A = this chain, B = another copy of it.
Amino acid sequence: MAATLKGNAIVAQSGGPTAVINCSLAGVIQESQKHDAIERLLGSKNGIFGVLNDELFDLNQEDAATVEGLKRTPASALGTTRYKLQDDDYERILDCFKRYNVRYFFFNGGNDSMETCHVVGQLAARENYELRCIGVPKTVDNDLAVTDHCPGYGSVARAITIMTMDAGKDNEASYSTDTVKVVETMGRNTGWIAASTGLAHETEEDAPHLVYLPERPFAAQKFLDDVQGCLDSIGRATIVVSEGLVDENGEYITAQSAADSEFYQDAFGHAQLSGVGDAICKLVEGKLNAKARFNKPGTSQRNCIMAQSKTDAEEAYMVGAAAVEAAVGGETDKMVTLVRESNDPYKCVTGLCPTEQVAAAEKKMPDEYINEAGNGVTEAFIDYVRPLVGDLPKYVRLKRVSA
């Protein structure tokens, strides 16, 4: 047992918002209040920017009802950023920590955030400044290494799956118009989000009929054959495509205007995509005798409190609280993980792993989760994702007995 380290704590939220990142914040706040070691909990405005720019909030001043309300408030209540740290920023971070006697740092984000955690932790160690840095996992992309899954994923999966069910019902109802419906999902480099919609495909009639993931190169003719197959068999196709689809050359399937624009490069050098749904529709309309329209829920999918997964919300809280417990207990340079102990009944607990194991890695969909044709998912994936999403709404279909 480590000696009690007394001091202040900072919590920051980084990367893209989610429907449950504020649950993790509530977990950090409420757990911190239970530990005398943490004298004051400060919130950093807009991710690491607040630390760099001395914009810190005293979270002990917040009303208990507001903290409770965080559990049902989407996006990042502290603000977030995608700012990529420069080499001399790390020293400034440590300076801020020293000035505020910060001994605990909870950084809620994805693999970039874990890298920050790791570098800051190492710097503090070199300077003999006692600091406990714990990463709190968060990303709708579900692409973090080590952890079974990421808080934020279950809710975005639930949202996009229900939105796909609704789009599918619309498509099913619409004779003579909109026979092809494309749903464009988030997922820059991995197909976890798009793949989750496979949960809704229980019978041949049920959308989505085709799902395309960045893990498989997009082959236009093969795709058109798939779509024509659906049109021939059930007269329509509801298709889910991940925003990060690439062709055999690794080029994004997207509108040219987007590909050419500097605006679509963010600070991390990841391409900011636009237009894959539109591009797919144009491909279908240009090559097949079908109409095609796309839905692009965009940021509404990752912040959809209506579709917040109960399991996801609870686990997001749990990882926030576990980070505080771990830090107070003496851990540092670790990220809290989710460990699935059992799938049926579903049981998940928290664990810890070195942040550097998460920092550089990106977990793609494994082969056994993608079907052979590369246009859907496997039962193994459905088993993996179902408990994270929870029960879906039950829609009826008429028997349609001929009169």
Please give the distance in Å from A62's CB to the nearest CB on chain B.
6
A-B contact pairs, 27 of them (CB 8 A): A17-B170, A42-B403, A43-B398, A47-B175, A57-B401, A59-B398, A65-B396, A72-B394, A72-B395, A73-B396, A75-B166, A77-B396, A81-B175, A82-B177, A163-B297, A167-B298, A167-B299, A167-B300, A169-B303, A176-B267, A177-B266, A178-B299, A181-B299, A257-B282, A261-B285, A297-B297, A305-B393
Considering the complex, give the chain B residue whose CB is closest to the CB of A300.
B163
Which of A16, A62, A163, A291 has the most C-beta atoms of chain B within 10 angstroms of its own C-beta? A163
Given A17-B173, A167-B303, A78:B297 Cβ within 8 A: no
Q: Is A215 among interface residues, defined by CB-CB distance under 8 A?
A: no
Given contacts A274-B293, A402-B58, A403-B58, contact A75 B299 (CB under 8 A): no
B398 lies within 8 A of A66 (CB): yes
CB of A276 within 8 Å of the partner chain:
no
From B61, B75, B167, B267, give the contact of A173 (CB < 8 A): B75
A198 vs chain B, min Cβ distance (A):
17
Q: How far is the CA of A55 from the CA of B181 in the complex (A)?
A: 25
Identify the closest chain B residue to A41 (Cβ): B403
Q: Answer yes or no: A296 CB below 8 A from chain B CBs.
A: yes
Q: Contact partner of A56 among B80, B304, B402, CB < 8 A?
A: B402
Chain B residues whose CB sits within 8 angstroms of the CB of A394 once the complex forms:
69, 72
In the docked arrangement, what's the CA distance between A183 and B299, Å? 10
Residue A400 at the chain B interface, CB threshold 8 Å? yes
List the interface of chain A (C-beta within 8 A of B).
13, 16-17, 40, 42-43, 45-47, 49, 55-59, 61-63, 65-66, 69-70, 72-83, 100, 162-163, 166-167, 169-178, 181, 183, 257, 261, 263, 266-267, 274-275, 278, 281-282, 285, 291, 293-300, 302-307, 393-403
Residue among A17, A56, A173, A394 with the highest chain B CB neighbour number at 10 A? A173
List the B residue with the shortest CB-CB distance to A291: B263
> Which residues of the other chain, B, contact A166 by a CB distance below 8 angstroms?
74-75, 299-300, 303-305
Q: Are A69 and B298 in contact, with the CB atoms below 8 A?
A: no
| Partner pick for A295 among B61, B177, B299, CB 8 A cutoff | B299
Q: Specify the chain B residue showing the minimal Cβ separation from A395.
A: B73
A175 CB contact (under 8 Å) in B56, B80, B294, B300: B80
Alpha-carbon distance between A152 and B80 when the two chains are bound, in angstroms: 37
Alpha-carbon gap, A74 to B174, bound state (A): 12
Cα distance A207–B328 in the bound complex, in angstroms: 39
Contacts of A17 in B (CB 8 A): 169-170, 173-174
Contact A170 B74 (CB under 8 A): yes
Extra inter-chain contacts (4) besides given A170-B303, A296-B298, CB under 8 Å: A45-B400, A49-B176, A75-B169, A75-B172
Docked-complex contact A175 and B299, CB < 8 angstroms: no
* A297 CA to B295 CA, complexed, in Å: 5
Shortest distance from the beta carbon of A329 to any chain B beta carbon, whole Å: 25
Q: Which of A46, A74, A81, A172 counts the most B-chain CB atoms under 10 A from its CB? A: A74
**B residues near A65, Cβ cutoff 8 Å:** 396
Which residue of chain B has its CB nearest to the CB of A298?
B295
Q: Which residues of B contact A169 (CB under 8 A)?
A: 17, 73-75, 303
